[in-house]
Amino acid sequence: MAEDFSVPWAPGVRVLYGQAALATRVAELGSRITADYAGRALTVLCVLKGASLFTADLVRAIALPLRLEFLGVASYGSVEDIVDTGLTLRFLLQALVARGCRSVRTCALLDKPSRRVEAVTVDYTGFVVEDRFLVGYGLDHEERWRNLPFVGVLERSP
């Protein structure tokens, strides 16, 4: 799936999912969500910061009227980007249900089930990934490389 693409200002980052693969998968997720929510009210809640670029593309791929809201959640250290341990997602799901949400479904571009500590279900998954440190397309390493146009594996720290 990896495209032969890199940027000189991101040494040590190997492309995992390039722009074309991301665009295709986001369009597929948008189509599924459109079908599942046809005729229903939809509010999309983006968890900042890591999911912001993915969410921006995803809501444009959903052919329904919707509301877009943002939420910042502090997790462990400075990581808040990928469903891995499930701890942050479990916390969010419980908080949303406690606030009276009638239906909550989850969508993540990336899922690392090998790191799961809490049993959580991701209803719409872009890609299942191995336990590697990923950057780009909103994901960061120490607040850097969110703006890479691909998801890459950080193979070495600069």
The Cα–Cα gap between 95 and 78 comes to: 21
57, 81, 84, 140: the active-site residue = 84
84 tagged catalytic: yes
The Cα–Cα gap between 120 and 82 comes to: 13
Q: Which residues pair with 153 in a beta bridge?
A: 14, 134
The Cα–Cα gap between 103 and 33 comes to: 13
- Three-state SS at 124: strand
Cβ distance 136 to 149 under 8 Å? yes
Which residues are known to be catalytic? 84
